[in-house]
């Protein structure tokens, strides 16, 4: 399956809101005539966890030396179980 290169300039140009929307509501894109689909994660993740994942994917492709200077995102790699959604 061909996926987005999350280290690319095109990916970096995307807005946080777009990435959060893709994570929570899923995304369907055409890649060279093939439709690729990511399922929504809104039933598994809280909006705060989606924000943490957006911050986490933003760290992909950032050079180590540069990254060391940056403040680490707290708990971006450790996802606590989502609370039972109230409907
Ligand atoms: C919690 C885990 C995941 C996160 C944080 C995540 C994050 C993202 C984000 C931010 C995008 C948007 C990319 C864009 O707008 O360019 C995306 C797209 C996509 N994801 Fe995920 N994803 C996750 C899990 C998965 C899984 C498990 C699959 C497949 C089994 C998947 C398949 C896809 C596909 C097919 C796309 C759209 C195609 C593309 O943009 O290349 N993702 N994902």
For ligand 1, residues with CB inside 6 Å are 3-4, 11, 14, 18-19, 22-23, 27, 29, 36-38, 41, 53, 57
For the chain, give every domain's residue range.
Answer: 9-69
pLDDT one-digit tens code per residue, 24-64: 999 999 988 999 999 999 999 999 999 999 999 999 988 87
Share of the chain above pLDDT 90, in %: 62
**Number of neighbours of residue 56 by Cβ within 10 angstroms:** 15
Between the CA of 47 and the centroid of ligand 1 the distance, in Å, is 16
Q: What is the pTM of this model?
A: 0.77
**HEC secondary structure over the chain:** CCCCCCCCHHHHCCCHHHHHHHHHHCEEEEECCEEEEECCCCCCCCHHHHHHHHHHHHCCCCCHHHHHHCCCCCCCCCCCCCCCCCC
pLDDT one-digit tens code per residue, 70-84: 666 666 666 667 777
Per-residue confidence (pLDDT) for residue 2, from 0 to 100: 73
Q: Cα–Cα distance between 73 and 42 in angstroms, integer? A: 21
Share of the chain above pLDDT 70, in %: 80
Between the CA of 48 and the centroid of ligand 1 the distance, in Å, is 17
């Amino acid at each position: 399956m061909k996926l987005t290169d999350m280290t690319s300039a095109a990916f970096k140009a995307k807005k946080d809101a777009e990435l959060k929307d893709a994570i929570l509501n899923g995304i369907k894109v055409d890649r060279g005539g093939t439709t690729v689909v990511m399922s929504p994660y809104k039933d598994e993740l809280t909006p705060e966890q989606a924000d943490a994942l957006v911050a986490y994917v933003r760290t992909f492709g950032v050079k180590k030396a540069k990254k060391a200077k940056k403040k680490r995102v707290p708990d971006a790699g450790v996802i606590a179980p989502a609370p039972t959604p109230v409907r």
